[in-house]
Structure 1
Amino acid sequence: MEEKIKVLLVEDEAIVAMDLAAGLERDGYEVTGIADNAETALELFKEYETDIVLMDVNIIGKKDGIDTATELLKHRSVPLIYLTAFTDTKTLERAKATHPAAFLAKPYTITNVRIAIELAISNFAVRTEQASGKLVPIDNKPPASPAELTEKETILQMNDYIFVKHNYIFVKLKLDDILYAEADNNYVQLVTAEKKLLLRLSLNQLIEKINYKPLVRIHRSYAVNINMIQSFSDQEVNLSQKQLPIGRSYKDEFLNQFRFR
């Protein structure tokens, strides 16, 4: 099932916060909460799933936004964007210690925030290595530039989810919800029970990029999530209301996914 990217907004100016939240929701993001102090921010961060944090430096209370970000990141690693009117050297040096994805000076526009979120998700896209639990960038590639993000299709992975560029924003998709992928010339169609997403890459590139073992190639034009298979024969696999052919050269690879007694 496709999910919206979840944003936690920490901002002490109520009007600014509400306006930004409304703009983000119009763009297809989900604002999971708005906080104006460190304590509330930490509570919301613990209670709700969060994909990205927008953090004002100057907030209510003894702890400022940088101190608050430090506390949040101790619990789990997520992309962080600072929104602030403070751009002095001391503030910037403190902020850099938390490794933010972006630092936006006020006044900002929703367009600038949207671009910053897109870059933040791209540059912080990570996957968890089961053996070590270490977070690493996908494909070990350097951070994406704005030009790279606009010139080609982008698919990113964070743990058990992928983020797919769709209608100018990233949408969140759980890997387990994928039914199958279908090659279409230089494109591939990623299919779930509720959605079809067209990506500008090959089927081989898709399989390599997301590194999701249940997604298995069964034909030159198809890869299927074996966890979604209802039944299969020598010639085809049956999903819910969908049959896909098994190519002769892919049959052995497909059968090797199962343990026969």
Structure 2
Amino acid sequence: MKNNKRKVLLISHDTSSTAYLAQVLEKSGSYAVKTATTGRAAVGIHKQTAIDLAFCDVELKGNWSSAETVRQLRLLNPLAIIYLTDPASEQLPPPAQTNPANPVTYLHKPVSFDELFQTIDAVVGSLNDKSVAKLPTERLEEVELEDRSELKKHKLGREAIFMIDDNIFIKYNYQFVKVALNDIILLEANNMYVTLITTNRKFVLRLTLSSLLERLNLETLVRVHRSFAINIQKVDLFTEHEVIIGQHRVPLGRHFRRQFIDHFQFR
């Protein structure tokens, strides 16, 4: 019988985290999981078993950094990458300089069950979309602004979203989940994906940030950075450089500062 399980590689020195992720993924019945604590060990596994998806800790220990590990893996075969990041760490994920045929996104630790599988669905879906592979990642935002017909051609705007009254329905696990527009806190872009964060959930959508903002068409969703848009009614405080909503600290880009301020009435 043919084994249709996707091959997943967990790369981290944090064995407790990888043990948890391995257990969750294997229990789903859809993934065959291997683990490695260093970049060199990960490459050795990839040589023996062509991996479909790798989770790589940003703060990887050993001779190779996470960026070098991913580079070495992709010299062998294309694969999707999900970087695991620690919100408390000052170390940022490596820049995603990759073709959409090799999608990259990020997850913050600790990883929630829902967010884990949503993110996997997004990156694996992109990896399987052959038409997307023709469009360079670094030009997604440029194409979004210059030629929307090109987006349609490459199927980057087909994430299903339905709206009725003050709610939208987002596809998740082959179902459409209702999200109240007022519950949306912020949108965060990572390459070809946007994480829509609400008061109690997160949804990963295979859309550009500009495309999602255009489709939602809400005055309360204001772009404050190349990679962020926020619900301005949820703002708790802001400075010249950042906006804070609850536990979320969002950078306020200088090119978006005037647009953000213009939403307030001066007294």
TM-score w.r.t. the length of structure 1 is 0.48
Name which one, 1 or 2, has greater alpha-carbon Rg. Answer: 1
Higher relative contact order (CA 8 A, sep 6+): 1
